[in-house]
Amino acid sequence: MCGIVGFTGSRDQAAPICLDALTKLEYRGYDSAGICVLSGGEFNLIKAQGYVKILAEKTDGGRALPGTTGIGHTRWATHGEPNETNAHPHISSGGLFSIVHNGIIENYAPLREFLISRGYEFTSATDTEVAACMIEFFFRETREEKPNETPEAQVVEAISRAARRMTGSYAFGILYKNCPDRIFAAKRESPLFIGVSPEGQYLTSDIAASLHKTREFITLADHEIALISPEGVKVFSGELDELEKKPETVDWDVEAAEKAGYEHFMIKEIFEQPEAVKKTISGRIKNGRVVLDDLDISEEYLKNISRIYITACGTASYVGVAAKYNIERYCRIPVEVVIASEFRYCEPILDETTLVIAISQSGTTADTIAAVREAKRRGAKVLSIVNVVGSVIATESDWTLLTLAGPEICVASTKAYSTQLAVSYLIALRLAEVRGTISAGEYAAIIADLQRLPEAMKTALALKPELSYLASRYFIANDVYFIGRNIDYAVTLEGSLKLKEISYIHSEAYAAGELKHGPIALIENGTLVVTVAAYAPLAEKTASNAVEVKTRGARILAFTTEKTAAHFKEIADNMIVIPDIHEALLPSLAVVPLQMFAYYVALGRGCEIDKPRNLAKSVTVE
Ligand code: AGP
C-alpha cells in the first residue's frame, strides 16, 4: 500500500506541503519516495530511495522544487525492486504526464506489450509507469477525436478510457504538463480523498496526511475522476457526467485518522484481511487455474521434489503447519515444519530435490535469514513467501512469492498471516496439479472456494460483537488452552500466540488427542479450553476431547462450522459458528474470530495491543 499526496493552491509552495504530508505517512512504512512539481510548463521531479528525510535533504526541504502545484508519493513496493528508478512519480514516455499510484494494475504486463508495440518506452519495472503511458496514449487519441474540447476535458476523458482497460486497483494523482495549477485524480478500490480549503486543495490517499491542514474532505468513489484546481474541485463519473460531491467534515484526531478511525492498528488490520487476501490471490487464478507468473520454477523441478521443509518463526511458522497438512494431503510430498532458530543448527538433511519454503512478513527475521542461508549452503533451493519486496530473505531466495498485505503496523501479525496462508494454498494447488496428485473435481472445488474466501472472511468478521462479548466473560482468565486436530490444530497454534502476545495471558495450544498424555493434569475448575473443530472428519473426536476436559471442570469455548456445530451443542459453554468452506481453506476463516477474541481480551485487560511489551515487529537479532 503506497501513500499519495498532492497540493495545488494560488500562493503556497507545493513541495514543502507534499513533503510535510509524506512525513505524516511515515507510520505506514515504505521503501522510497518522490515529489513532482509542475511549474512553467515543466515537471521538476526528485525521487529518493529510503525514508522521506532523505527526500527532504535532496529537495532542500522542498525549496529545490518551486511551484504551487505538485504531487508526492511513498512507495511500498509490489512490482519492481524498491529503488529510485521504480520510485514514483513516474513520467509517461512522451513526457506529458506525471503520475503517482497506490494499488495494483493486474494486467500491466499485456498493456506494457501493447504500448511497446506502439513505440512507447519504459524506464522502470512498475505497473504505474504503464498506467502513465496508457493515459498518454488515450490522451493523444482523445485530443485527435475531440480537438475543440478543453485540455482539462481531454485529460479527464483520457483517464476514463485508460481506466476502462486496466484491471486491478488504483488511486492516481496525475499532472498534465499543459494544465498548470491542475491535479487530476482517479480511483478504483484504493482510497483517495481531496482536502478542500481556501489556501488550496490537498490530494491524499490517507486523511491523516492532511488533517492538520483541513478537516473538509471529498471522498472519491470507485471510477470517479476529479479535476482539482486552486479554486475548487470538479468530480466526474466514469461516464464523464459531472457529479455534485460535497466535502464532509472529519472530526477525527490525527492518530485516529492514521488508523482510519479504528482504535488500534490490530483491529484495522484484522478488518483489512479480506482485501489483502483478495489482492494476494487476484491475478494468480486465471480461468479456474493457479497461474504463478511471478514464479519462474520449471515443472520438471516441481515434479522431482522429494521432500519439503518449511521454516519460519512465530506466526509465520504456524502458516507452515497449516500448509503441511494441505501439501501432504493434496501433493503427497512429505513436509517437515522446522522453526528457523532450530533449522539453522539441526543439520537438516537436504539435497537438490529438497524444496525449502521460508515464510516471513518482514523478510528480515535473523533466524529465518540464517535458515535460508543454511538451506542454500546444503544444496537446497529456497522459495520464500514475504511481504516486503527487496527484503534480505526475498533477495537471497531462489524464488519469491509476495504477499500483498501492505504494511502491517501492529506487532501482532494478522493480515500477513492470512495472506501467507493464501499463498500456501496457491503453492499446494500448483504442486498438486503439476504432479497429478489431485482430482480435477477437488482442484476445482478448492479454486472455487478460494475465490469466494475474501467474502467468507467478511462473514467471519461480522462475528465481532459475539467475540467482544465472549472476551468480556473470559478476559480475567489466567491460563487458556487451545485444542484442535489436524488443520484445526494449526489454527490453535496461531490463536494461542495471538492471545498470549497481546493479552499476556499464559496460553498453550495442543493437538486435542495429546491432552491425555499429560497436559490434562493442568485442567482445573473454570479453566478455559478453546476448542477449534472446523475440520469435519475429526470434529466428533475433538468433541470427545472437549468432554474429557469439561468433566474435569473446564469451560469450553468452541469454534465450529455449521457442519460441525452439532457435536458441541451439549458440550460448549459458548460456541462461535464460522462459515463453512473447503477444508483446505478452513484456517483462513477459523483464525478470524480467534484474532478478534485475543484483541478484545487484551482490550479488556487494558493492554497496549499494537506494541506489546518485550516484542518487536521484526526480530532482526538471534
Ligand atoms: C506474530 O504475531 C509475531 N509478531 C511474531 O511471531 C512474528 O510472526 C515472527 O517474529 C516472524 O516474523 P516475520 O514473519 O517478519 O519473519
The domain that holds 301 is classified in CATH as 3.40.50.10490
CA of 71 to the centre of ligand 1 (A): 35
Establish if 109 belongs to a structural domain.
Answer: no
Give the neighbor-by-neighbor strand order of the sheet with 42-49.
42-49, 32-39, 69-75, 3-9, 200-204, 193-197, 216-219, 248-249
Ligand 1 atom with the shortest distance to the CA of 411: 4
Domain boundary among 200, 226, 251: 251
At residue 203, the pLDDT reads: 98
Q: CB-based burial of residue 349 (10 Å sphere; 0-12 exposed, 13-18 middle, 19+ buried)?
A: exposed
Q: Which of 363, 355, 373 is nearest to 428 (CA)?
A: 355
At residue 406, the pLDDT reads: 87
At residue 257, the pLDDT reads: 75
Measured by CA distance, the residue closest to atom 16 of ligand 1 is 360
Q: What is the mean pLDDT of residues 325-350?
A: 97
User: Which one is catalytic: 2, 18, 36, 331?
Assistant: 2
Give the neighbor-by-neighbor strand order of the sheet with 555-561.
506-511, 479-484, 528-533, 555-561, 574-578
Measured by CA distance, the residue closest to atom 11 of ligand 1 is 313
Ligand 1 atom with the shortest distance to the CA of 393: 16
Pocket test for ligand 1, best of 264, 365, 392, 595 (most atoms within 8 A of CB): 365
Reply yes or no on whether 617 is catalytic: yes
Establish if 500 belongs to a structural domain.
Answer: yes
Pocket test for ligand 1, best of 413, 501, 594, 613 (most atoms within 8 A of CB): 413
Q: Is 240 in the same domain as 330?
A: no
At residue 551, the pLDDT reads: 96
Establish if 115 belongs to a structural domain.
Answer: no
Ligand 1 atom with the shortest distance to the CA of 618: 15
**CB 619 near ligand 1, within 6 Å:** yes
The percentage of residues in the chain with a pLDDT greater than 90, rounded to a whole number, is 87
* pTM, two decimal places: 0.83
Q: Is 505 in the same domain as 563?
A: yes
Q: Is 451 in the same domain as 500?
A: no
Check pLDDT > 80 for residue 157. Answer: yes
- Please report which confidence band the pLDDT of residue 170 belongs to, taking 50, 70 and 90 as the band edges: very high
Domain count across the chain: 3
Q: Provide the phi-psi class of 119: left if phi over 0, else alpha when psi is between -120 and 50, else beta.
A: left
- Please report which confidence band the pLDDT of residue 382 belongs to, taking 50, 70 and 90 as the band edges: very high
CA of 536 to the centre of ligand 1 (A): 29
For 439-446, which contacts have Cβ atoms below 8 Å and span 24 or more sequence positions? 442/330, 444/288, 445/582, 446/330, 446/582, 446/584, 446/585
Establish if 622 belongs to a structural domain.
Answer: no
Establish if 128 belongs to a structural domain.
Answer: no
**CB 618 near ligand 1, within 6 Å:** yes
**CB 14 near ligand 1, within 6 Å:** no
Q: Is 200 in the same domain as 259?
A: no
**CB 69 near ligand 1, within 6 Å:** no
Q: Is 69 in the same domain as 15?
A: yes
Pocket test for ligand 1, best of 408, 503, 619, 620 (most atoms within 8 A of CB): 619
Between 59 and 261, the higher pLDDT residue: 59
User: Which one is catalytic: 177, 234, 611, 617?
Assistant: 617
Q: Is 415 in the same domain as 527?
A: no
pLDDT in tens, 383-395: 999 998 878 899 8
At residue 139, the pLDDT reads: 98
**CB 316 near ligand 1, within 6 Å:** yes
- Other residues' Cβ atoms within 10 Å of the Cβ of residue 352: 13
Beta strand pairing status for 555-561 and 574-578?
Answer: parallel
CA of 366 to the centre of ligand 1 (A): 11
Q: Is 191 in the same domain as 61?
A: yes
The domain in which residue 332 lies consists of: 253-460
Establish if 346 belongs to a structural domain.
Answer: yes
- Please report which confidence band the pLDDT of residue 576 belongs to, taking 50, 70 and 90 as the band edges: very high
**CB 391 near ligand 1, within 6 Å:** no
Q: For residues 542 and 157, what is the distance between their CA atoms, to the nearest angstrom?
A: 60
**CB 315 near ligand 1, within 6 Å:** yes
Q: Which of 118, 58, 123, 57 is nearest to 86 (CA)?
A: 123
- Please report which confidence band the pLDDT of residue 436 belongs to, taking 50, 70 and 90 as the band edges: very high
CA of 313 to the centre of ligand 1 (A): 6
**CB 365 near ligand 1, within 6 Å:** yes
Q: Is 488 in the same domain as 448?
A: no
Measured by CA distance, the residue closest to atom 5 of ligand 1 is 314
Domain boundary among 212, 233, 251: 251
Q: Report the Cα 181 to chain-centroid distance in Å.
A: 34
Q: Residue 65 maps to which CATH number?
A: 3.60.20.10
CA of 252 to the centre of ligand 1 (A): 31
CA of 190 to the centre of ligand 1 (A): 27
Establish if 382 belongs to a structural domain.
Answer: yes
DSSP 295-315: ----HHHHHH--EEEEEE-HH
Q: What is the mean pLDDT of residues 149-166?
A: 98
Q: What is the mean pLDDT of residues 527-541?
A: 98
Q: What residues contact 511, with CB distance under 8 A and at least 6 apart? A: 483, 484, 485, 489
**CB 314 near ligand 1, within 6 Å:** yes
Pocket test for ligand 1, best of 362, 493, 594 (most atoms within 8 A of CB): 362
Q: What is the mean pLDDT of residues 315-338?
A: 98
Reply yes or no on whether 2 is catalytic: yes
HSE, CB side, 13 Å, CA atoms: give it for residue 551: 5
- Please report which confidence band the pLDDT of residue 189 belongs to, taking 50, 70 and 90 as the band edges: confident
pLDDT in tens, 448-506: 999 999 999 999 999 999 999 999 999 989 999 999 999 999 999 999 999 999 999 99
**CB 385 near ligand 1, within 6 Å:** no
Establish if 153 belongs to a structural domain.
Answer: no
pLDDT in tens, 23-64: 988 777 778 999 999 999 999 999 999 989 999 999 999 999
Measured by CA distance, the residue closest to atom 8 of ligand 1 is 315
Q: Contact, 517 vs 563, CB < 8 A?
A: no
Q: Is 470 in the same domain as 449?
A: no
**CB 501 near ligand 1, within 6 Å:** yes
Q: Is 187 in the same domain as 259?
A: no
Q: Is 38 in the same domain as 14?
A: yes
Average pLDDT of every residue of the chain:
95
Q: What is the mean pLDDT of residues 586-595?
A: 98
Q: Which of 558, 546, 559, 556 is nearest to 589 (CA)?
A: 559
Domain boundary among 205, 234, 251: 251
Amino acid found at 568: F
Q: Is 293 in the same domain as 406?
A: yes
